Amino acid sequence: MASKQELENLGTTELAVLCGKVAADATRYSESGAAKAFTLKQEWALLQNPPSPALKEQQNKEVQLASWRSRAIEFHFLMGTPIK
């Protein structure tokens, strides 16, 4: 199980990869855990669009990504997802 600090040291791409692993293994992490991981991975994918030329839109995307990152860290911490 990863510590919260270890999870906080991961980048968003690494967190998304963990989401994919949890989503693919419902027997290990539960159906609801796998479903939540799948949703987080989808949200991450939507935030990966190219940077917006509008500064306000780009700032909004960065806020959304920071929010996603916090939720992903908390999710993996609560699920006990190993990072290795």
Q: pLDDT tens track of the chain, all 84 residues?
A: 889 999 999 999 999 999 999 999 999 999 999 999 999 999 999 888 777 678 888 889 899 999 999 999 999 999 999 987
Report helix, strand and coil shares of the chain as percent, to nearest 5: 75, 0, 25
- In 3D, which of 17, 52, 54, 22 has the Cα closest to residue 35? 22
pTM passes above 0.95: no
